[in-house]
Structure 1
Amino acid sequence: MTFTILSVCTGNICRSPVAELILADALAGVADVQVESAGTGALVAHGVPVPAQLLAAQRGIDTTAHRARQVDTSMIRGADLILTMAREHRRAVVEHVPAAMRRAFTLRELARIADVVEADVPAALAAANATTATQGMAAAVSLAAAMRGTVPPPASPEEFDIVDPYRRSDEVYAASFSELAPAADRVAGFLLHAARLAQPSS
């Protein structure tokens, strides 16, 4: 069984592909994980802008092969975890597929939840009888969804979002990346923790 992560932003050229590739790199050691991305208003077939390419390259991430694509219902239904770059994208996903609500988070939202609930992962795995890496990650997502309403919100709701740098300055690209990369790292760490606890050899 493959655990599929879908990263979503607007154009699928700046934020979501960078998040996709950071997550894919971090989770490369876990079998049966697929990470992909799409946009709610995708600039279909366009590549990643140079400023975003350069920032990702500093992390050893090559974005040059990416081509944007439009999100659709089948992608949403097929994803075990949907990570959006802003609240507007999460709303769009849930409007497409209401049942996706429990699997859809903004990237920064899930990173924030992970900080609070990671200690509860072992109990969640036991309750779910998770014995594989993919089952462990699915149990972690379910835990995050169940605990979402109990995690104190940030001072501003905008802290759930990653700023859109498209057609803006290099400084805005850098600010966007500085919000995105730590959140992607935190989410990857949360999923890896659950995968390894469920299947220590993973």
Structure 2
Amino acid sequence: MSTTSPDTLRQPDLLLFVCDGNLARSPAAELISRHRAVADGPWRFASCGVRAVRSDRVLREVERQLALMDVPAGGFRSRQATPAILGEARLILTAGRPQNDWIVDETPTLYRRTYTIRQAARLLRDLPPGADPLAHLARTKDRITELDEVEDPIRKGGAAAGQAVGQIDEALRVILPALGALGPVRP
């Protein structure tokens, strides 16, 4: 007779980050989240692209920005978003409206699970104490504004990569604690 309960077998929920090529914005969000998250916590992190470019590394300019934050970028491999990958996610955070639209066009049932990363951070800033963050997001979901998007830094140089990674980092400083996924505080 096994003493393992279904609760002990439960996998952590998947927080999926999505951008275009899966080379810059979504990998940055995945890697920062993995670096900051509590070990064996309630969430696991992955990323993909709606038009993924095959690569086994993050865009160099983004990798440099991550290194400045002591976030390791090794072991990354890009992948294409598919309905199966998207369907596995409990929460999907995109870089902007084009990725949101692509996801909802591909799988309309994911509408209430899909936000831009900055939109989710904006909505979670008003999370009441003790409230369920996913229910709060679904209840308060609104239109994506220009300020909710992270501009693609590809072919725009180090300053654009720094801005994109900075916006992602700022959003994750709201999102990860709200989801109960924050590990020991790291600068």
- Range that drifts further, 181-190 or 77-86: 181-190
TM-score, scaled to structure 1: 0.79
| Higher helix residue share | 1
1:108 aligns with 118
- Structural mapping, 1:30-69, within 5 Å: 30-69=40-79
Q: Secondary structure at the match of 2:180?
A: helix
- Structural mapping, 1:27-176, within 5 Å: 27-116=37-126, 118-119=127-128, 121-122=129-130, 124=131, 139-149=132-142, 157-176=145-164
Aligned in 2, Cα 1:99/1:58: closer, same or farther, shift over 3 Å? same
Amino acid at match of 2:96: A
- Range that drifts further, 11-20 or 42-51: 42-51
Q: Secondary structure at the match of 2:138?
A: helix
Distance (Å, rounded) in 2 between the aligned partners of 1:45 and 1:54:
17
Deviation at 1:32, TM superposition (A): 4.3
Structure 2: which 5+ runs fail to align?
1-9, 183-187
Distance (Å, rounded) in 1 between the aligned partners of 2:43 and 2:180:
11
Flag as ranges the 4+ runs of structure 1 deviating above 6 A.
Answer: none
Amino acid at match of 2:28: V
Percent identity reads 24
Q: State whether residues 100 and 116 of structure 2, in contact with CA within 8 Å, keep that contact through their aligned partners in structure 1.
A: yes
Q: Does 1:185 align with 2:173?
A: yes
CA root-mean-square deviation:
2.0
Deviation at 1:61, TM superposition (A): 0.8
Q: State whether residues 22 and 185 of structure 1, in contact with CA within 8 Å, keep that contact through their aligned partners in structure 2.
A: no
- Work out the number of aligned pairs and report it: 173
Amino acid at match of 1:146: R
Deviation at 1:110, TM superposition (A): 0.3
Q: State whether residues 42 and 180 of structure 2, in contact with CA within 8 Å, keep that contact through their aligned partners in structure 1.
A: no
Structure 1: which 5+ runs fail to align?
125-138, 196-202
Deviation at 1:30, TM superposition (A): 4.8
